[in-house]
Amino acid sequence: MTTTSCAGAAPIRTELDLCYGEAAIGHGTDRPGVRALRMDAYLPAGAAPPTGRPALVLAHGGAYHRGAKDRDEFDQDGAHNTPVHEYCARFAARGYACFSIGYRLTQERAAPQAWPIKRDRGSSSRERIDWVRAQLGLPPASHDELLNGVEAVYADVANAFRFIGENAARWGIDTERMAIGGFSAGGFAAAYAAFALGVPAAALIGLSAGMDAEDAAYYVHGGRGLPPVLLFYGEHDLPAIPPRTEALASRAAQAGLGMRHYLVPGKPHFYDRAAPVVLQQSTMAGGEACATVEDAMLRFLDDALVRPSVGVARLEAFAQAWTRHDIDALMDCMADDCVFHSGAGPDAGGTRYIGRAAVRTGFLRAWADFPDAQWTRARHVVTGRRGMSEWTFVGTRASDGQRIEVDGCDLFTFHGDKIRVKDSWRKQRS
């Protein structure tokens, strides 16, 4: 372990080459085996606060074939990117527990995953990968080798995030405030780890990254418990990057997730932390004031990683306001960027209402349909940024006078002391 500091920055300490697991390599060769998977930790030098510190887990770029946890700075036409390990050091000086993740490279021949991750198994975006392989002196790879390599990176990054969460006490981490992200291949891996593999990230950062459109449509839905996203791409980025960044940004907005999406003007695939940015699309207020890539990252993490502080008392007050038909009290419990998924409607999650005005309309509709509606026998559970209320609904339907009694529950996602997502589920009587 070493302790260092940059000029004008708080001191940090590092723990290098930490093993977070092992994984299979040499698939399809006469020398199959396993190798250790390693990461580097960049930590504030002082003791963690009693409530724990936020964490930032980042994965490097390199077209799934090059780069490393301590080396992923590349140049193109005089432009270069800030390497992931430098972001880790800078954010550690600001109080984050940061981790730079190493993972298997495609030429190590990872074994296939037990379950497929990518939905389209027959196509791949390989132009850049073929170019990188040529630069490395590697022959063209088969489609299966590339697919196995990409999905192995997704799995390795997900496993690293889980390992850090399971050992959070070692680094004084608040597990409710863990963000995941990365550059290029590492950013794609972070997105798939969060949305396809379900790691409990509280925020996602993708530097020139996103998801394939069919994967975004399949995995990003509902908004309940899913992280807000921060996405970038360069004005002259690789052709395959902008469509996939925009696919994830658009799907996140449709699902009611917090989202900010920036263009980096004049830059190719590689851009540094001080590069100016222009906000392209957002569902979160405040991002338009950010001037650079690093500014946008700082503001996003400050907004996304607010400590959850909702308790059972808040959910009980929310339930009582429903029974009183008190719309102002209900809306006082909701965040500014709130989302409501009703118990019935055309989507898989019912009808989706996004934003305070829409949510208010959705809540009022329940009383219009059932003027005497009551939610009885409410019971609540809160754990970190998630919560649940069970209840029995009783009411007379205005359209036909039929008396209805059903059991149901609400699933909640919290932001600070407010409810960000309310997702209603109920039994269907027949």
Amino acid at 326: D
First to last CA, the chain: 64
- CATH fold label, 312-426: Nuclear Transport Factor 2; Chain: A, (3.10.450)
* Architecture of the domain made up of 2-304: 3-Layer(aba) Sandwich (3.40)
Q: Where are the beta strands (DSSP E) in 161-202?
A: 173-183
Give me the residue spans of the domains in the chain.
2-304, 312-426
pLDDT of residue 347: 75
d(CA 68, CA 102): 6
**What are the angstrom distances between the C-alpha of 271 and each of 19, 215, 430?**
30, 26, 58
Q: Which of 101, 24, 21, 7 is CA-nearest to residue 56?
A: 101
Going by the DSSP 8-state scheme, the letter that residue 276 receives in this structure is B
Q: How many Å separate Cα 36 from the centre of its chain?
A: 26
What's residue 10's pLDDT?
Answer: 84
d(CA 248, CA 195): 10
pLDDT of residue 8: 55
Side chain identity, residue 351: T
- Helices marked H in 211-311: 213-219, 241-254, 293-304
User: Which amino acid is located at 304 in the chain?
Assistant: A
Print pLDDT tens along the chain (430 aa).
565 655 457 899 999 999 999 999 999 999 999 999 999 999 999 999 999 999 999 999 999 999 999 999 898 878 899 999 999 999 999 999 999 999 999 999 999 999 999 999 888 778 889 999 999 999 999 999 999 999 999 999 999 999 999 999 999 999 999 999 999 999 999 999 999 999 999 999 999 999 999 999 999 987 678 999 999 999 999 999 999 999 999 999 999 999 999 999 999 999 999 999 999 999 998 899 999 999 999 999 999 999 999 999 999 999 999 999 999 999 999 999 999 998 887 777 789 999 999 999 999 998 999 999 999 999 999 999 999 999 999 999 999 999 989 999 999 999 999 999 999 998 876 6
Q: Which residues pair with 52 in a beta bridge?
A: none
Total-model pTM: 0.94
Are 109 and 25 contacting, i.e. CB atoms less than 8 angstroms apart? Answer: yes
- Radius of gyration, CA atoms only, the chain: 23
CB 233 within 8 A of CB 242: yes
Per-residue burial over 121-133, b = 16 or more CB atoms within 10 Å of its CB, e = otherwise? eeebebebbeebb
- Cα distance between residue 221 and residue 251, in whole Å: 8
Q: Which residue has the tokens 């490395």?
A: 136
pLDDT given for residue 3 in this prediction: 59
d(CA 30, CA 36): 20
Residue type, 179: A
pLDDT of res. 270: 96
Would you state the pLDDT for residue 158? 98
